[in-house]
Amino acid sequence: MKYTQLGRTGLKVSRLVLGTMNFGPQTDESTSHGIMDAALDAGLNFLDTANVYGWGENKGRTEKIIGNWFVKGGDRRDKVVLATKVYGNMAPDDSPVWPNHDKLSALNIRRAVDASLKRLQTDYIDVYQFHHIDRRTPFEEIWQAVDVLVQQGKILYVGSSNFPGYKIAQANETAARRGGTIGLVSEQCLYNLAERRAEMEVIPAAQDYGLGVIPWSPLHGGLLGGVLKKEATQGRRASGRAADALKDTKTREQIQAYENLLDKHGLEPGEAALAWLLTRPGITGPIVGPRTQEQLDSALRALELELSEELLTSLDEIFPGPGPSPEAFAW
């Protein structure tokens, strides 16, 4: 396994991040535990989740699955860099609607941390992430809440997810003025070959402020995982984001060109898409969300791929990025 520092911190994390969103909704607890064991055996030490995973009436279920895995012993918790998230509404679906059960108020942050710790059956969270921006809560209040949690030993670092570049700057400038907390150390953003808008401002902002970048949906909902080949040879139709994207003729032509290119080089599309992300400046490691052991094995193989300059150039030709701002929209 290859490791890197998480942004400007001294924390060492694997260059793949094990995403757990499927644990519970699509993958049962026993299989989820097997996947986490296999990931740990392979040296993958960075585990990402969120308090809302499990969704609907099962919100929190994924954190409980992870907690049950930790208490099996074998130093599982000590070997893992654990990241979870706060923002989504955690009130029971069948309860009356009450305020302060979501977003980033000091009250909800305090409530959400304690609830996550209980579900995860641990006494601290390594990287506590804001799942979305909160337009109503000032960063002064957010950082005050974070300072207390750090002092209590409940969290060690703080990251963001789905933040625009200006909010990364605003958050860390506020942290610098206040002193105390070191501010955001990571950003999770939507980033892959087919969706490169993060290159305009989010990734440059993260690099300037010393944040590690953790791309989510590295295969763009399966679009970059050989979807057309699977459709032709296995009769497996695309669904979700991939199915919507393929309705566009230009996108379908792009994906066909992409699959043809990788077939020419003898590479699996999904593995190549992950390997491409690992070549990008500022990237800590993409989040992979395997539902099966086979999917985890495929993701691990991406770590060993060396993409030639010729291939990287060809990929840029198929999926040209927007380039940095302001040149992407001005001069």
State the Cα–Cα distance between residues 132 and 188, nearest whole angstrom. Answer: 10
State the Cα–Cα distance between residues 249 and 255, nearest whole angstrom. Answer: 10
- The C-alpha torsion from 219 through 222 and 223 to 225, rounded to 10°, is 70
State the Cα–Cα distance between residues 278 and 15, nearest whole angstrom. Answer: 8
What stretch of H or E contains 47? strand 46-48
What stretch of H or E contains 299? helix 293-301
Secondary structure of residue 35 in the 3-state scheme: helix
Order the strands of the 125-130 sheet from edge to edge.
Answer: 212-216, 184-190, 155-161, 125-130, 81-86, 46-48, 17-19, 287-288
Cβ within 8 Å of residue 73, ≥6 positions away: none
Of 3, 53, 157, 258, the catalytic one is 53
State the Cα–Cα distance between residues 51 and 54, nearest whole angstrom. Answer: 8
DSSP 8-state code for residue 214: E
Cβ count near 150 (within 10 Å): 18
> Token pair of 129, please?
């992430």
Annotation marks residue 53 as catalytic? yes
Is residue 184 within 8 A of residue 211, CB to CB? The reply is yes
Phi, psi of 265, deg, nearest 5: -90, 0
Cβ within 8 Å of residue 96, ≥6 positions away: none
Is residue 42 within 8 A of residue 300, CB to CB? The reply is yes
> Token pair of 86, please?
């706060």
User: Could you list the active site residues?
Assistant: 53
